[in-house]
């Protein structure tokens, strides 16, 4: 399969949207509606009308020319919300935390997932992951992911299949900002070379920052979520290749009825150890709360470009079950 050239425009758009989201998360919106504004008046008495010459002299021209520019920034920034919309945002934040779809929520979980990936040149892989989230002090979260990997590459005779434990990932996060309409979690992610075989992991210790944001969209009654992370190797097997991966995820999380949710997301990744080669995948998730805090989901995905980059694929499908705890 021929490799498609790596364009910068899709990645730049995703990164730009997320940077604007983080920058404008807690700031006030321009042109916010004032409930105390006077109601629209009816026709006035003709005897009290202002002469045309006076009205034309009092009307400035420059503000009307600048108004379209202000409207653009008003739509990008946080939108003004009524008390009813804030109440709905608070309700949906609790629903997202209970379903496990809000990455800024401080709530415990046990989750099992299994993912099949169709890779380039006829190879494939299956990743089964156990995730445990441990919340503490209301605003702190510790996450541990232990993946079990099976690979199959028919192009390598005698080494067509490997299976075993992969690299353990640990994430520590702090929710730095939290309102019904916007939340921000910052932290650090690290991986450890626990893979049973060289082909199942990086062979390196890695560390890097992680950021998660969740912003309520009143018109859609959904959340716009952004995830950013970066991993760089800081030790491990000196004979193994260094790691330098940048990952950006943008998603829209919506809720349907009493038990259903959907997530549409785009994942963009850059491998700086391969001269900045990037990849992008699109995924759709549909999930249902089964009973109480127990839920399940299915998530198919397709590679857009850069399918041979680490973490990318031609197509995949993931299924998972999770149990969310109110607290530990």
Alpha-carbon span 173 to 140, nearest angstrom: 6
Length of the chain: 328
Which two structure tokens, joined as six digits, stand for 201?
A: 């992991």
Alpha-carbon span 55 to 314, nearest angstrom: 65
Angle at 301 between CA 200 and CA 199, to 5 degrees: 10
Residue by residue, pLDDT tens for the chain (328 residues) are: 444 444 444 444 444 545 544 544 444 333 333 434 444 444 444 444 444 444 444 445 444 444 444 454 455 455 678 899 999 999 999 999 999 999 999 999 999 999 999 999 889 999 999 999 999 988 999 999 999 999 988 777 655 678 999 999 999 999 999 999 999 999 999 999 999 988 899 999 999 999 999 999 998 999 999 999 999 999 999 999 999 999 999 999 999 988 999 999 999 999 999 989 999 999 999 999 999 899 999 999 999 999 988 889 999 999 999 999 976 5
Q: What is the pLDDT of residue 76?
A: 45
Q: Write out pLDDT tens, residues 84-137.
A: 999 999 999 999 999 999 999 999 999 999 999 999 988 999 999 999 999 998
User: Residue 160, Cα to own-chain centre: how many angstroms?
Assistant: 34
Cβ proximity of 278 and 309 under 8 Å: yes
Architecture of domain 86-325: Beta Barrel (2.40)
The pTM assigned to this predicted structure is 0.75
Q: What ranges do the domains of the chain cover?
A: 86-325
> Helix, strand, or coil here: 167?
coil
Q: Which residues contact 157 (CB under 8 A, 6 or more apart)?
A: none
Q: Write out pLDDT tens, residues 133-181.
A: 999 988 999 999 999 999 988 777 655 678 999 999 999 999 999 999 9
């Amino acid at each position: 399969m021929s490799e498609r050239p790596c364009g910068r425009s899709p990645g730049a758009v995703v990164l730009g949207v997320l940077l604007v989201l983080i920058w404008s998360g807690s700031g006030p919106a321009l042109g916010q509606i004032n409930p105390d504004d006077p109601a629209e008046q009816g026709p006035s008495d003709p005897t009290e009308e202002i002469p045309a010459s006076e009205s034309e002299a009092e009307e400035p021209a420059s503000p009307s020319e600048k108004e379209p520019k202000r409207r653009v920034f008003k739509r990008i920034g946080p939108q003004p919300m009524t008390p009813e919309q804030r109440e709905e945002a608070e309700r949906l934040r609790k629903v997202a935390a209970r379903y496990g779809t809000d990455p800024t929520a401080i709530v415990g979980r046990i989750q099992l997932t299994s993912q099949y990936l169709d890779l380039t040149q006829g190879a494939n892989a299956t990743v089964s992951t156990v995730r445990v989230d441990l919340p503490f002090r209301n605003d702190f979260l510790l996450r541990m992911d232990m993946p079990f990997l099976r690979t199959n590459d028919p192009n390598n005779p005698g080494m067509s299949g490997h299976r075993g434990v992969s690299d353990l990932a640990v994430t520590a996060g702090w929710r730095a900002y939290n309102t019904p309409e916007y939340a921000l979690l910052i932290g650090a992610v690290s991986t450890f070379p626990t893979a049973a075989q060289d082909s199942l992991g990086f062979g390196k210790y890695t560390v890097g920052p992680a950021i998660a944001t969740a912003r309520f969209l009143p018109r859609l009654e959904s959340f716009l979520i952004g995830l950013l992370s970066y991993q760089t190797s800081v030790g491990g097997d000196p004979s193994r290749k260094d790691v330098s991966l940048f990952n950006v995820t943008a998603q829209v999380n919506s809720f349907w009825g009493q038990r259903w949710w959907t997530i549409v997301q785009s994942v963009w990744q850059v491998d700086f150890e391969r001269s900045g080669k990037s990849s992008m995948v699109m995924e759709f998730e549909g999930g249902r709360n089964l009973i109480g805090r127990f839920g399940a989901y299915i998530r198919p995905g397709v590679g857009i470009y850069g399918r041979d980059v680490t973490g990318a694929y031609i197509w995949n499908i993931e299924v998972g079950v999770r149990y969310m705890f109110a607290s530990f």
